[in-house]
Amino acid sequence: MHLKDMQQIRESFVSRHSLLRSLADELEVKTKQALEDVPHIDRIAFRAKGVESFVAKAGKEKYPHPLRQLEDQVSGRVITFFRDDIAVVRDVLMTWFGDVEHEIKAPAIAQEFGYESEHFVFVIPDHMKSDEWQEIPDMPETFELQIRTLFMHAWAEPQHDLGYKGDPDPEVKRELAWIAASAWGADRTLNEVARKLSPQDLGELT
């Protein structure tokens, strides 16, 4: 892609960033409303993609029209206390929004420990877009959402900075795998504990 094109794309993205932020705010409000009766939610947060992050991804060859093709320009995350809560959140949000993509991210083989999360792509409902949004060409049609537990998040977030971007040496890779296995074990055990407790006991955690 030509440098001139990328400059235009950057300028276009910057000029529409306030609309994306407004949509992120609106989606956060709506998601909180959707999940207001669902217990054990740690946090719900949405954000508009940062300019530098967008430009870096937009330069890739597989996105000839990145302004309309990048689906994470607005994205959100719901973090639950327990693994069993993921299904509850999933069911509610799939009722509220129209899903076009759903993928359960997990290590490919049983002996591996690593990134776990549920990823969705949803259609942005028209009634959440402002009039100005409708006037601008090449606005995105979709947004991304991830659902994961606290322990999945505790491993995924620092790992993203520590290991994902570089190529760590084998010892560090092994240590990261140990952290992933520990997080998986803690997540699973916490879920088992939650199943043994009464709803009243758990109610104090909401």
Partner 1 sequence: MTAGNLIAAYAYEVAPQQQAPFAGGSIPVSDALQNALNHTFDRSRIDNAPKVTFQVRSDSANRAHPIRDEALVVAFDDDKGSESALRLAIRLAGAMDNRSKPTLLVVSVHASPREGSRRVLLWTFPQEEVFNLNTSSDEAALEMLDAFNRESKLRKAALIEGPNEATSMLNARVLDFQSTAAERAVADLWIVKFLHARLQMSDAEGTQLLARVLRATHTKTRADQAAQDQIGAAIGALRLMGDRRVSLDSIERAYLSGSAAATFSGASRPEERAAMFSIDHTKFDDMIQYRRFALNNGVVVSAPFLEVGEGKGVTVDEIDGDRILRAEGTIMEEQVRTRAS
Please say which residue, 125 or 185, places its beta carbon nearer to partner 1: 125
CA distance 100 to 73: 16
Binding to partner 1 in span 120-159, by CB under 8 A: 120-121, 123, 125-131, 137-138, 140-142
The answer to whether the beta carbons of residues 126 and 64 sit under 8 Å apart is no
- Using alpha carbons, list the distances in angstroms from residue 72 to 46, 162, 187: 11, 22, 27
State which of residues 43, 95, 157, 164 lies at the interface with partner 1 (CB under 8 A): 95
Please say which residue, 33 or 53, places its beta carbon nearer to partner 1: 33
Nearest residue to 126 via CA among 113, 139, 115: 139
Is 61 a residue that touches partner 1 (CB under 8 A)?
no
Q: At what angle do helices 150-159 and 170-196 cross, to 10 degrees?
A: 170
Q: How far is the CB of 165 from partner 1 (least distance, A)?
A: 26
Please say which residue, 31 or 80, places its beta carbon nearer to partner 1: 31
- DSSP states along 136-150: STT--SEEEEEEEEH
- Using alpha carbons, list the distances in angstroms from residue 155 to 62, 128, 144: 29, 33, 20
Please say which residue, 96 or 115, places its beta carbon nearer to partner 1: 96
Q: How far is the CB of 168 from partner 1 (least distance, A)?
A: 31
Is 8 a residue that touches partner 1 (CB under 8 A)?
no
**Burial 46-76, CB ≥16 within 10 A → b, else e:** bbbbeeeebbebbeeeeeeebbebbbbbbbb
State which of residues 10, 17, 57, 68 lies at the interface with partner 1 (CB under 8 A): 68
Q: How far is the CB of 135 from partner 1 (least distance, A)?
A: 12
The whole-angstrom distance between residue 187's C-alpha and the CA centroid of its chain comes to: 19
State which of residues 22, 47, 55, 96 lies at the interface with partner 1 (CB under 8 A): 96
Which residues make up the interface to partner 1 (CB under 8 A)?
Answer: 30, 33-34, 65, 68-69, 71, 92, 95-103, 120-121, 123, 125-131, 137-138, 140-142
